[in-house]
Chain A
Amino acid sequence: MTELARIEDAALLTGQGRFLDDLDPLPGTLVATVVRSPHAHARILSVNLDRARAQPGVAAVIGPEEILATLKPFPLSVSAPTPYYPTATDKTRFVGEPVAVVIASDRYLAEDAAEFVEIDYEPLAAVVRTDAALEPDAPRLHDQAESNVATDRTFEFGDVDGAFAAAQHVVSRSYSFPRYSSTPMECYSVVADWRDGREGPEVTAHANFHGPFSMAPVVAGALGIPTSSLRLVVPADIGGSFGIKSAVYPYIALMAVASKYAGRPVRWTEDRLEHLLASSSGSDRLMTFEAAVDHQGVVSALRVDLIDNVGAYLRPPEPSTLYRCFGNITGAYDIDAVTIRARAVVTNKAPTGLNRGFGGQQLYFGLERLMDDIGVVCDIDPADIRRRNMVPADAFPYATPSGGIYDSGDYHSALDLALENADYEGLRKQQRIVRENGEWMGIGIATIVDPSATNIGYVGLATPVQDRTAKRGKSGSTEHVRVSVDPQGIVSVLLGTVPQGQGHATVARDIVAEHLGLPVAQVRPRVEMDTATTPWTISSGSYSSRFAPLLTSALLEACDRIAETIKLAGSVLLGADPAALELIDGTVRVADEPSRSVAFRHAAGLVHWDPGSLPEGVSARLYEEAAFTPPQSKAASRTDQINSSLCYGFVADVVAVRIDKETLKVTIEKLSSVHDAGTILNPTLLEGQVHGAMVQALGGALFEEMTYSDAGQPTAGTFMDYLCPTSAESCFPLVSGHQETPSPLTRLGAKGSGEGTSMSLPVAIANAVADALAPEGIEITSMPLHGNVLHQLLNTTKGS
């Protein structure tokens, strides 16, 4: 497909983007500030809002009393006695948890008045560490719960015990994955308006919320209104998210209540302190991976034990971090038997949620560190150990033991390309020389399956099969689009895909133009999500890399129908059989006689102006809505298997690092990354996704961690301590390679590509650091890997 410039860029680069904070959709809007808990864990003894309400400019102040009077707890993904409201009601369970909201005429006055909110707390013992939260005598977060374990399920597929009994080697390792985020440039933003209508309350909310729209009924459920009484409007421009903004939804409910009590629309704009304290992040995870291995390094079975630390509440869609990769839990490897124990614990940290890679970086940190450790045990090179275990190219479609059906791939050739691009042999030679000089250099590999177009049915797995309501399963991943043609032949594409900078409009324009034989200027995409008017369903939204596989498939279906109507109109104008016509160069023409043609716009004009001339029975219809619903996305089976994504791409990363002996700084010397995302729709945008995911991975591997003291106080609450890599840290030699094995399940063969490297590169870097420090006898079992951490590891080893 031709490579064209992004149509989004000119406005964004000249400051003409229109983000929610630039818009004033509801005149007379007041401004809110949120009063937050300074305690990690405390009982609320009393709340006195009277003094705050008396401050200048204050319209209303709400607290737990107003929340409990207006809202029900948010419906959870699993039945757990851990009620979740947008504010604390009985206890505060993390630092930064909302407790009250002050609504005033501007933010300064709101923050001034917030200082007069009086809350009497009784501090309680806090628990932040996952292992500590599991202890029987650990402080209990939720009084009605029996423990801090919010969900605990075990699954077994295949003869795992038999495989382990027959194994030559059993390799078992425990790992700890850190909590980090993606820190979008724009923070959360909500404008909410509550009105009492004839049929009950009606809420309109403008928010930079990008789905999953399964959260719309969650918010409506808390508000106690039908989903259709909650109108969500999303601005066309969202300043990044990477999944993080899916968790703006509790604030939609909160600001709706604020509007109810203020009697006016209410705006809340999250600031960076609030964002780092209390928005969202990926979950941190403790995990144990155990492999049954034969003498040639071939893995026959896995035992996987995952414990996610989801923070204070099981905020939907959690515990989905555990399940998003369920169908691909065995990764790129041909392994027939697996047991999985999946637990989520609640602790006095902020709740977690979607973060680019969602569950993938956690899973692959364990699986890919383990593959290296298996290589060490078997004395097999890390590239070779992967080759011996990867799903062979002739095995597709490949069914995994846990229910995944890998649609297409050629993992061996992709790995070979990554190794070749890295000059793997050359790097190993260089490493031998470097080691002889007493310096540290390491090479790390990760080979991962990159799932896209989530089947939301995996959410059902958190509930045991006997408790899942019969005939009320969850499945699917549908995407919608509307295409219309105006009387001048201009094609409009309504995209309800709520992008946050990905360039959906550019890709949609190019595909429609190509498919309808039009110049790109004749196609005008419009990004708009208004749940009152835009077609949508539960699975709508921008997450799990859905655009490329799903939306483009829906787009082609809509274009097919538009083309059919245009050809019918063209056949009237040309006096030709519509089946003999083609759309090309902005015309409708007879395929065999190119001289017989008519402009596309004239054919469109006929449908608008002269529908009477159309053949009888033809509807004068130049607007088409299409939904793409892949039949492969089904609900979880009775045996707990699920095809948790529609498409499964592949990433192979090979990275070389040097570690400076003086500063212990880890420097990336070379990165070779090969992606197979099926058919490439736009090479520039694909490369952009790869780069972005790389920088996110770099953050997780070397820089970022949302740390807490044991008492539950966040210790990385500003950008002074939460260190995102900047451009200065993100410059390294990169060879990016691509391979295309089209998906047979999507119209264009495209798979998602937004997340791959964010899953693979963290562990590839960790593997490289482990390789570099192997001569020192150091094991790498966690991240981030910066000088202070390495200093401690090196000196602990020396001391022992």
Chain B
Amino acid sequence: MKAAPFAYVRPGTVEDTVVELELEGAKVLAGGQSLVPVLAMRLGRPSSLVDLSAVPELTKLSRDNGSLRVGAMVRQRQVQYDDLARAVPLLGLALPWVGHREIRSRGTVCGSIAHADPSAELPAIASCLGATMTLRSTRGSRQVSAGDFFTGAMSTVIEPDELLTEVSFPVASPDEGFGFGEFARRHGDFALAGVAVRVRTTGETVTANITCFGVADRPASADVSTHLRAALDVTGPEPDEADLRRALAAGPAEEIAAAVVDTVGDAHASPGYRRQLVAGLLSRQLSRAFVKSRRRESGVR
């Protein structure tokens, strides 16, 4: 478990970083929580590691124009506890589930998204909220929305010479409610199944979208407004959380689960078990998010 030889560089600016990334086989090192084990097991053999830790502009966490902008070197734990990040409630709900505290202290938000593990929380959050990724190379800069970003397991549109400099999450509006849940065999493990939920209630109009993870080769998103409305038809428009949850569990949640779970399964969970987990998680989190959005919309805090 010792890494094969590699070169190591630690540039001080984004400009220098992207120049280093032009080298064949160069790989970005941010928090290292996924990359370092891969190196130690010789499952990856980059010719050079480009360490981002000395680039000051990548450590910025800021809010502007209705977005929370998270730089490439912002640690997960910083986002978990920074007041700025409260503007994106889903991050606060999801981050405690990311690995363990020690991992979050090193791991970065952008690193997790760039790594694109299909069982990871942060790619799902990015997908559910339609976050925007900024990619830089010597060829210039481009922005990709989450819906177009993930291309498969551990696979994204990032080109070998590109750096994910920033992820921009939309700030929540007052009529939105959120839910997040996952199930893992042990605390801190990658989820067997998880859901991120966003519900918006504007007057009589209810819309809902979800992203499930751990159930397909990439975050699986869906507009589930009709399912939620079907459950509300059963409960009436102002249900309490438990009633709505039961109504969702009685049918709509299983229907959604059947549509989003797309995996052959593994030793820890078959597709059937994952569908059961997703249906349960969705019933719980959709009802919770709906009740929250309703309260916010009616000004109840």
- Residues of A in contact with B (beta carbons under 8 Å apart): 107-108, 111-112, 271-273, 662-665, 703, 707, 715-716, 720-721, 723, 725-726, 728-729, 786-788, 791-792, 795
Contact = CB atoms under 8 A, between A and B. Distances in A.
B187 A273 contact: no
A273 B41 CA distance: 8
Contacts, number: 64
B41 A788 contact: no
Contact of B1 (A273, A788, A791): A273
Given A663-B277, A703-B185, A788-B267, 12 more contacts: A108-B5, A272-B1, A273-B1, A662-B277, A663-B280, A665-B183, A720-B190, A726-B188, A729-B186, A786-B268, A788-B268, A792-B270
A791 B273 CA distance: 6
A787 B273 contact: yes
Given A726-B187, A728-B186, A728-B187, A662 B280 contact: yes
Nearest to B42: A111
B270 A723 contact: no
- List the 7 closest A-B pairs by CB distance, nearest first: A662-B280, A728-B187, A791-B273, A271-B1, A108-B2, A111-B2, A788-B269
26 contacts: A107-B2, A111-B42, A272-B1, A273-B1, A662-B276, A663-B280, A664-B276, A703-B185, A707-B267, A716-B267, A720-B189, A720-B190, A721-B267, A725-B186, A726-B186, A726-B187, A728-B186, A729-B186, A787-B185, A788-B192, A788-B267, A788-B273, A791-B270, A791-B273, A792-B270, A795-B272
B36 interface: no
B1 A729 contact: no
A108 B4 CA distance: 7
Interface in B163-192: 183, 185-190, 192
B269 A787 contact: yes
Contacts of B269: 787-788
Contacts of B185: 703, 723, 786-787
Contacts of B277: 662-663, 787
Contacts of B190: 720
A662 B282 CA distance: 11
Interface string B260-277: 000000011110110011
Residue of B3, B5, B185, B267 most packed against chain A (CB within 10 A): B185
A716 B185 CA distance: 14
Contacts of B5: 108, 112
A664 B273 contact: yes
Contacts of A111: 2, 4, 42
Residue of A662, A720, A723 most packed against chain B (CB within 10 A): A662
Contacts of B273: 664, 787-788, 791-792
Nearest to A274: B1
Contacts of B186: 703, 723, 725-726, 728-729
B148 to A, nearest CB: 29
B263 to A, nearest CB: 13
Contact of A663 (B3, B41, B183, B272): B183
Nearest to B268: A788
A786 B2 CA distance: 34
B169 to A, nearest CB: 28
A703 B4 CA distance: 33
Interface in B1-40: 1-5
A256 to B, nearest CB: 24
Nearest to B280: A662
A373 B190 CA distance: 37
A271 B71 CA distance: 35
Interface string B178-219: 000001011111101000000000000000000000000000
B280 A112 contact: no
Contacts of B3: 108
A726 B267 CA distance: 20
